[in-house]
Structure 1
Amino acid sequence: MGKAGRIACIFTPYVLTLASLICIIIVGLGCTKSSDSNLSDLYFLRINLQNISSNGTKTVSEIQDFLSEHHISTVTADEVSSTLKTIQDDSTLADFYSIGLWGYCEGSIKDGDYKTTKCSKPKSEYYFDPLDVWGLSDNDTIKNELPSDYNKIMKIYKAVSKWMFIAYLIAFILGIAELLVGIFAICSRWGSCVTTLVAIVFFLFTAAASITATVLFSVVDGSAGTLLKAYGISLSVGKNMLAATWLAVAFALVGAIFWTFSVCCCSGRSPYNHKDRRNRGITAEKAPYTYEPVGAGAQPYGAHHTSYPAPAAHGGEYPMTHTNNQQTSAYEPFRHV
């Protein structure tokens, strides 16, 4: 029962760790295969350029009204209009771009239906550079027309994206290590102790990667989203990707708690020690202040003298017996042991 209980005790955290690792794999597979609609719908951020690619841009007056309404003073309506014209003339734009952990996917939009046509080659420490993707990295005119904070924002985005990728990679490696070390947890509590340490670090890196991804793309959507609307560009955060990464965090946390519990409970040793069982005997010890009857051959108490009936209470007599001319009490005397 000891080994069986031990296996049952670590089964739950082992399954939770495996589930967390699968969620991380799902995050990594997002935007890696254009032919799989499920994978192409897994993205951190989606950029919608349908208004630009279909020449449905706003007029200068409409852009001016939009900038005034949202209190945007970093660019003018003429600069926005000129930038849009340059993008349309000098680049080939898709209707949308989806950003994943290893790369991006692009495609067309028809009647609100997103169809992915191409995905980039997976690359480690990837970050999405719109000018490079749109073929405008060598265009000095458009660089001068972009907001002044563009280069600063891209530098921060690149650094954070690099850290996010490394955090996910370390979390993936730790998840595999936890599964391997968890096998030894069946044998002893020391195995559970080591596995618990790995599980805690695995949870910390998974949580750090998920927090980074959530904050990064939420800030991009919130801060740059309003400004980009003036250019006819809309942003949306991928809910499926965020759900997958936070499920990984939840599974990793509960798994670490159960691994910790397995250190204190469910020992792998049998509760019964069968050694020297043959040599064991049942011994009984006499408790102090006990009495035992006088053994055979001993003089009964009062046998050496003659006793006469004595009046009992209420006019009766004590019961007496006569055996071999010896008078004894009906109550057998006891002696201290």
Structure 2
Amino acid sequence: MGKAGRVACIITPYLLTIATLICIILVGLGCTKASSSTLNNLYFMRIDLSNLTNGTKTTSEIEDILNEFDITSVSSSDVKELVDELASNEEDSLIKEYYDIGLMGYCDGQINSKKYNTTYCSSPKSEFYFNPISVWGLSSSDVSDLLPDDYNKVMKIYKAVSKWMFIAYVIAFAVTILEILVGIFAICSRWGSCVTTLFAITGFIFTAAASITSTVVFSVFKSTLGTTLKAYGIELSMGKNIFAATWLAVAFSLAATIFWVFSVCCCSGRSPYNHKNKGMRGNGLTAEKAPYTYEPIGAGAQQPFGHQQPTSYPPPPPNSYPMTNQQHHASPYEPFRHS
């Protein structure tokens, strides 16, 4: 019963740890395979350029957008020039209608009847960050003056933070695998649970840190550049599935950590019946008889209930002189004894 209870106590955090690993793997595989619709829907941010094909905005329309969002870092002529250059590259098939950004790569494709059809995904790359200028085939020296000042600031932050974000996910992935392997030994003893708990805490910290980083950096990206890029006909939107996967990993990791800690304090693998009599005999302890108990005297002798065995006194010391008849008669205990 002790081992069975120990296994039942370990199985819950073990399954939660496996669920954490699956969620982290899904985050890493997002935007890595063009033929998989499931993986294509795992993206942090989508850049929609479909408005460039619907017709380039006039200068007056661009100026109205800039005034609406109070954008003063660029002029309407600058925006018009960049939009025309993007449109020309789109006609040369250098720019696609949308781009999805993942952890290790990006995907692009065309939009048909409001349906996103992915046609290409880049090869997975460590410490990946999406650089639209190089992907769109533009020269940074030619377009740097045509972009708002916030764009360059946000891209520098995104480039630096994306490296830390990738490292955090990799560490969370590696520690979670070690947690699963070490968790097997937690079935044997509480020491195994203690070591597994240390891995669980480390994995939870890095999983939470990576999820927070990805959520913050792309939220800042969208809030800072989302309104500005509308003047260029570019729409930004954040993905739902990949953020659901990364935060589910955090929830599973936290729950697994709590249960691993619980397995250290409770659910011992020892059986409560194996050492019941061993502890009494090994310590030299004997059971005490309860009061008013009866024990027979002699081999096979039966005494009536309530009978007490007479107290045994030591024999009197030997007397060198025999007792006289007068002494026998003077005995207070046997006054009528005859010689």
Q: Normalising by the residue count of structure 2, what TM-score does the alignment of the two structures yield?
A: 0.82
SS, match of residue 210 in structure 2: helix
Partner Cα separation in structure 2 for residue 249 and residue 274 of structure 1: 42
Partner Cα separation in structure 2 for residue 296 and residue 14 of structure 1: 67
Write 1 or 2 for the structure with the bigger share of strand. Answer: 1
1:179 and 2:180 aligned: yes
Quickly say closer, same or farther: Cα 1:228–1:191, change in 2 above 3 A.
same
Quickly say closer, same or farther: Cα 1:145–1:3, change in 2 above 3 A.
same
Partner of 1:112: 114
Partner Cα separation in structure 1 for residue 129 and residue 43 of structure 2: 13
> Displacement of 1:85 after TM fit?
1.3
Encode CA deviations 1:201-252: one digit per residue, 9 max, x unaligned.
1111100000111111111111100000000000110001100000000000
Encode CA deviations 1:82-121: one digit per residue, 9 max, x unaligned.
1111222346210000000010000000110000000001
Contact in 1 for aligned 2:2/2:270 (Cα 8 Å): yes
Partner Cα separation in structure 2 for residue 14 and residue 5 of structure 1: 15
Contact in 2 for aligned 1:86/1:142 (Cα 8 Å): no
Encode CA deviations 1:165-188: one digit per residue, 9 max, x unaligned.
000000000100000110010010
Partner of 1:145: 146
Partner of 1:43: 43
Partner Cα separation in structure 1 for residue 275 and residue 192 of structure 2: 25
Identify the match of residue 130 of structure 1 among 126, 129, 132: 132
Q: Normalising by the residue count of structure 1, what TM-score does the alignment of the two structures yield?
A: 0.82
Q: Which amino acid aligns with 2:214?
A: A
> Displacement of 1:283 after TM fit?
4.7
> Displacement of 1:148 after TM fit?
2.9
Encode CA deviations 1:5-39: one digit per residue, 9 max, x unaligned.
10000100000000011000011111000011111
Partner Cα separation in structure 2 for residue 143 and residue 226 of structure 1: 18
Partner of 2:226: 225
Matches within 5 A, 1:245-256: 245-256=246-257
Partner Cα separation in structure 2 for residue 193 and residue 61 of structure 1: 67
Contact in 2 for aligned 1:95/1:107 (Cα 8 Å): yes
Contact in 2 for aligned 1:190/1:263 (Cα 8 Å): yes
Partner of 2:259: 258
Identity value in percent:
61
- Runs of 4+ in structure 1 over 6 Å off: 279-282
Q: Which amino acid aligns with 1:209?
A: A
Q: CA RMSD in A?
A: 2.3
Matches within 5 A, 1:1-20: 1-20=1-20
Matches within 5 A, 1:58-77: 58-77=57-76
Encode CA deviations 1:118-148: one digit per residue, 9 max, x unaligned.
0001100000000010111x35222222223
Gaps of 5+ in 2: 295-304, 312-339
Partner of 1:305: none
Partner of 1:167: 168
Partner Cα separation in structure 2 for residue 294 and residue 15 of structure 1: 68
1:24 and 2:37 aligned: no
Partner Cα separation in structure 2 for residue 162 and residue 139 of structure 1: 22
Partner of 1:303: none
